[in-house]
Amino acid sequence: MSSDVRALIVEDNSSWQQILSEILADAGLVVDVVASLDAAIERLRAVPHRLAVVDLSLTGTDWNSLHDYQNRDGLRVLDAVRRFDPGCATILLTGFATVELAVNVLTEYGALSCLRKETFNRAEFRELVVRALARPLSETDVGELAAPAADEAGEVGASQGLALVVEDDAGWRSILVELLSEAGYEVRATAGYGEALGCLRREKYTLAVVDLALTPGPSPRGRGEEMGGYRLLTSVRAGGTPAIVVSGVASHEHIERAYAEHAIFAFVEKQAFDRRAFLRIVAEAQEAAGLGSELDILTAREREVIGLLAQGMTNKEIASALFITTNTVKRHLKAIFEKLDVHTRSAAAAKAVDAGVSIE
């Protein structure tokens, strides 16, 4: 690599300065090290950099933060990079990493990754640096999560089918799409109940990742019923699709309801979200999935109908759950019986159960 290719370290801790400098120098970069916001801006104005590794909390400046216990001058450095050195990719390194911060860094500041000091891994950091340097300059201002290792998500690029993401927060939606794509899924990303329901009607999904608190969704039955995620999970379950809930609403009542009423595969709390743990859950869902080939010949709507049938619902109850008429339910059941070569409701329900549709 050319000696003109430079990296900037913005870190006020000498030990971390040394660790990062060694790794970046080994990658063939000329390394500039500064310890404050003002010094970082000065270097950014002076020479272009290919990569900047920035600590969130820096000493020696006086910035009034909403969280006065936590200095966040590193975010001001990220903003300065965008203004003074737009071709420079950025990585935020911090000992204070909330989900909200990570989402903000990735979506608002265009960083490649937000890394936690307490889980810092030299090998993973080296891989991230290599990917950052291999990127065309025109792409370095596009924020993304670090790609998972092969042992986290299986072989990257392997086809795992179609996944549905239902999340009304753009930052979270971007994160989930990125992770599922790296895990080998083709992803449909939606922001609300109506859009997601339409996708479920049109296509068959091998996995659904759903937020509970979708807006809007008013209901006279109380706040617990306002969240469109619960209603959507009914259709997801009826279609035999494994569901993972990723939600900031995580009371015991909400978690238990999601498992008991909708037979979800896993519940992930946003407040404690961990990329590796999420990818492990996704991999487990892949292994646990696998509807029988007989159900594969059904349409998405027919799978919903047979799923509700397997739960013991009457035609009227199925019609109410799917917002269709009882005559339409009868037509779907007739098509299901013909395709599965059965003659009774109990036989069709048994086929659904054998294929893995839960009847809890």
Residue 4: half-sphere exposure toward Cβ, Cα within 13 Å: 2
What 3-state DSSP class applies to 270?
Answer: helix
Q: Quick one: average pLDDT of 129-144?
A: 57
CB atoms within 10 A of CB 346: 11
In whole angstroms, give the CA distance from residue 254 to residue 110. 33
Q: Tokens for 301, please give them.
A: 């709507």
Partners of 89 in beta bridges: 51
Q: Tokens for 285, please give them.
A: 């869902």
Give the burial class of 292: count Cβ atoms within 10 A of its Cβ; 0-12 exposed, 13-18 middle, 19 or more buried.
middle
In whole angstroms, give the CA distance from residue 96 to residue 324. 50
Q: Quick one: average pLDDT of 296-325?
A: 87
Give me the CATH code for the 6-139 domain, please.
3.40.50.2300
pLDDT greater at residue 160 or residue 284: 284
Q: Give φ, ψ of 288 to 5 degrees.
A: -75, -20
Fold designation for 156-290: Rossmann fold (3.40.50)
Domain ranges of the chain: 6-139, 156-290, 294-354
Fill in the amino acid letter for 227: M
Residue range 112-126, pLDDT digits in tens: 888 888 778 888 888
Residue range 167-222, pLDDT digits in tens: 888 778 878 888 898 888 899 998 888 888 888 888 889 899 999 887 544 333 33
- Residue ranges with strand state E in 154-265: 162-166, 186-190, 207-210, 243-247
What 3-state DSSP class applies to 211?
Answer: coil
Fold designation for 294-354: Arc Repressor Mutant, subunit A (1.10.10)
In whole angstroms, give the CA distance from residue 9 to residue 23. 11
* CATH fold match for the domains 6-139 and 156-290: yes
Residue 265: half-sphere exposure toward Cβ, Cα within 13 Å: 26
In whole angstroms, give the CA distance from residue 205 to residue 198. 12
What 3-state DSSP class applies to 210?
Answer: strand
Q: Measure the CA angle with vertex 110, ends 107 and 114; round to 5°.
A: 80
Fill in the amino acid letter for 220: P
Residue range 223-265, pLDDT digits in tens: 433 577 888 898 888 777 899 999 888 789 889 989 988 889 9
CB 160 within 8 A of CB 184: yes
Fill in the amino acid letter for 147: A
Q: Give φ, ψ of 209 to 5 degrees.
A: -115, 115
In whole angstroms, give the CA distance from residue 6 to residue 88. 10
Q: Quick one: average pLDDT of 291-318?
A: 81
Fill in the amino acid letter for 314: T
CA distances from 28 to 7, 31, 33, 244 (A): 10, 9, 15, 42
Partners of 80 in beta bridges: none
Tell me, what's the pLDDT at 156?
A: 37
